Chain A
């Protein structure tokens, strides 16, 4: 089945640094990838929709300059948390879908646990 690889799985860094999270579709081409954020015991909150070769579409309330998304190829999207602060600590999950058909399931990466000290 379709596999989405997300790296790193866990990162701890100091406040003020930037952190890059990679999301790769391993055996399919993903024209669209989605980035979610999940707080403890809460649901997944969509941050942005990433389209290959174009600018990402951000959800209301998500800072574009804080969360930089790049979708340079059909198999790779990256999320960079710039100048990270403790409030950015969270679980980030990427997701990719094969094609645009309404029935196509979204395949998820295993997530990245980000801890900012």
Chain B
């Protein structure tokens, strides 16, 4: 079974500081993608960043970057220069090829302290 584990139910960070959210996954597949989604209080699901398993280079989107460790099956999200608008639930997700849905972790609630 495919599983995604987010071991930090809650995290907090000072505004302008850096925070890292952890995520591990379990799969026997070789072709898959990993995603981080953000869900603010409005409950809209927003794609933050994605990473292809075949790519060794870590994905980066502005202040968001990942540390992808394939052998360790780890996919952490780093948020630099944290802003108040970054406060949200963050979900790590995984999907293999084919007509398959995203599998989500339980989420990490991030608070940003002014």
Contact call B96/A32, Cβ cutoff below 8 A: no
Interface string of A66-107 (1 = CB under 8 A from B): 000000000000000000000000010101000011110111
Residue of B nearest to A38 (CB): B43
**Interface size class of chain B, counting residues whose CB lies under 8 Å from the partner chain:** 20 to 34
| A residues in contact with B109, CB < 8 Å | 41
**Interface size class of chain A, counting residues whose CB lies under 8 Å from the partner chain:** 20 to 34
Contact call A103/B33, Cβ cutoff below 8 A: yes
Binds A, one of B13-21, B45-53, B65-73: B45-53
Most buried by B among A49, A91, A93, A105: A105
Does B102 reach chain A (CB closer than 8 Å)?
yes
Alpha-carbon distance between A38 and B89 when the two chains are bound, in angstroms: 13
CB < 8 Å neighbour of B96 from A95, A102, A110 = A102
| A residues in contact with B43, CB < 8 Å | 38, 91, 93, 110-111
Alpha-carbon distance between A106 and B33 when the two chains are bound, in angstroms: 12
Alpha-carbon distance between A32 and B31 when the two chains are bound, in angstroms: 20
Residue of A nearest to B37 (CB): A108
Does B98 reach chain A (CB closer than 8 Å)?
yes
Alpha-carbon distance between A32 and B43 when the two chains are bound, in angstroms: 22
Alpha-carbon distance between A107 and B103 when the two chains are bound, in angstroms: 14
Contact call B50/A103, Cβ cutoff below 8 A: yes
Residue of A nearest to B95 (CB): A102
| B residues in contact with A103, CB < 8 Å | 33, 50, 52
Q: Which of B59-107 contact A (CB under 8 A)?
A: 91, 95-99, 101-107
Alpha-carbon distance between A32 and B107 when the two chains are bound, in angstroms: 25
Residue of A nearest to B91 (CB): A43
| B residues in contact with A32, CB < 8 Å | 99
14 other A-B residue contacts (CB within 8 Å) besides A44-B45, A110-B43: A42-B107, A43-B104, A43-B105, A51-B99, A91-B43, A100-B97, A102-B32, A102-B33, A102-B96, A103-B50, A105-B35, A105-B50, A106-B101, A111-B44
12 A-B pairs within 8 Å (CB atoms) are namely A44-B45, A46-B103, A91-B43, A95-B101, A100-B99, A102-B52, A102-B96, A103-B33, A103-B52, A105-B50, A106-B101, A111-B43
